[in-house]
Amino acid sequence: MSAITIENDLVHYEALGRGRPIILVHGWLGSWRYWVPTMQHLSGKYRTYALDLWGFGDSGKDINKCTVRDHVTLLFKFFENMGIRKAVLVGHSLGAAVCLNFARQYPEFTHRLFLISPPLVDMGGLGDELPPALQPRAAAPTSRPAELHPSSPPTNVTYSPTSETLPSNPFRALQQAASTPPQSAPPPENRPVAPVLPLSIATVPTPPAEPPSQGFAPILATLTSAKPVALLMRCVSRDLPDLEMLRAEVAKADEMAFLRTAQSLSLQNLALELKRLMTPTLLLHGEADALLPPPDESLLQRINRGKQSGYFLPLIEPDVGHFPMLEITAKFNRLLVDFLEAPDLSNVEFKDQWKRTIR
């Protein structure tokens, strides 16, 4: 067992292999231990680190530092203690949210980002405005009388560049003219004046508004509906490899720390943070994940809109649940190695190759 002291508390971690550093961050249901197959697979070419977050596994259980921000600080200080200047971050579930926040705050330390089952939901703010063709244009000027436009300059005061005399106080002259009804203006009619609609609004039907998103509430309700071990048994099959090991590790989690991390995430728009991220990112989500359902395609498209080609590559894997690294270990490891070694993430053919590989 390896450990370091950060903020006067114990942080447990394990390391394996030699080479470029990779940091593996666990989720709500588990600890560093379920990364062992991945660490063994990568150890020939990479130096892998897997640590326990505050409140989980064998790390300190101080519930006063168990928010996502606290975990980001923990990860930063872990980099400092290990002498790591830049690394690939691999995060699962809660760990995916921590790694995403770390990459946003410390992009200079993040080489690439692999997010597995992140709690992504639509909380708005992704720039879903109408396309330019449907956006209202400014209304054309009308020829209605000046008295219907109090802010318009009076029509009965004119200044000619060739005039020999100018009012001594132009502003007073304007005020006096404004109080005098214009001679050429017809009397207002008794019927109300119909508003003039911009052409784009008058001719293009307004698209129906989407129903408001529930945001993080359903995920928070799921995470707080039972104790961690009970949640684990709800979202895994009985034949999952190393299930007893996983159950024992989940039982180590402090329940208050578990809840505090979930509550702190409920206040954050992870989808917006991911959209703003400039780090090459691969996202993998099991379609059968009962704990954190995968985001719908429209949300992924809006996150990807405006990003540089190849900087966000989402993969939704059918018939896989919450633990891809344990359920499809060999395929998961091949995908991770491909992601680590790809020289050019903008290569569309390479993305198609990933899809073929994981299937």
pLDDT at 355: 52
What digits encode the pLDDT tens for the residues 110-161?
999 999 999 999 998 887 543 434 334 433 433 333 332 333 333 333 333 3
What separation in angstroms does the CA of 67 have from each of 82, 121, 198, 269?
23, 19, 49, 15
φ, ψ of residue 19 to 5 degrees: the values are 130, -155
Whole-prediction pTM value? Answer: 0.75
φ, ψ of residue 101 to 5 degrees: the values are -65, -40
Question: CA 230, CA 242: separation in Å to the nearest integer?
Answer: 17
Asked if 25 contacts 95 with a C-beta cutoff of 8 angstroms, the reply is yes
User: What is the strand order of the sheet 46-51 is part of?
Assistant: 2-6, 9-16, 46-51, 20-25, 87-92, 110-116, 281-286, 312-317
- Which token pair is 192? 């109300």
What separation in angstroms does the CA of 49 have from each of 8, 60, 208, 213, 284?
21, 18, 49, 37, 20
Asked if 277 contacts 113 with a C-beta cutoff of 8 angstroms, the reply is yes
Q: Which domains does the chain have, with CATH numbers?
A: 2-125+212-227+241-255+267-358 (3.40.50.1820)
b/e per residue 27-56 (b: at least 16 CB within 10 A): bbbbbbbbbbbbbebbeeebbbbbbbbbbb
Give which of 33, 54, 75, 7 is closest to 257, Cα–Cα: 54
φ, ψ of residue 250 to 5 degrees: the values are -65, -35
pLDDT at 309: 75
Q: Based on the number of CB atoms within 10 Å of its own CB, is 93 exposed (0-12), middle (13-18) or buried (19 or more)?
A: buried
pLDDT at 84: 97
The residue written with tokens 């606290």 in the block is 70
At position 114, the amino acid (one-letter code) is F
Question: CA 257, CA 61: separation in Å to the nearest integer?
Answer: 7
Which residues of the chain are under the pLDDT cut of 70? Answer: 128-213, 344-359
What separation in angstroms does the CA of 334 have from each of 90, 124, 168, 274, 320?
14, 35, 85, 24, 16
Length of the chain: 359
- Which token pair is 241? 């490899």
What digits encode the pLDDT tens for the residues 217-239?
999 999 999 999 999 999 998 88
pLDDT at 308: 78
What separation in angstroms does the CA of 218 have from each of 119, 225, 355?
11, 10, 30
Q: Where are the beta strands (DSSP E) in 147-295?
A: 281-286
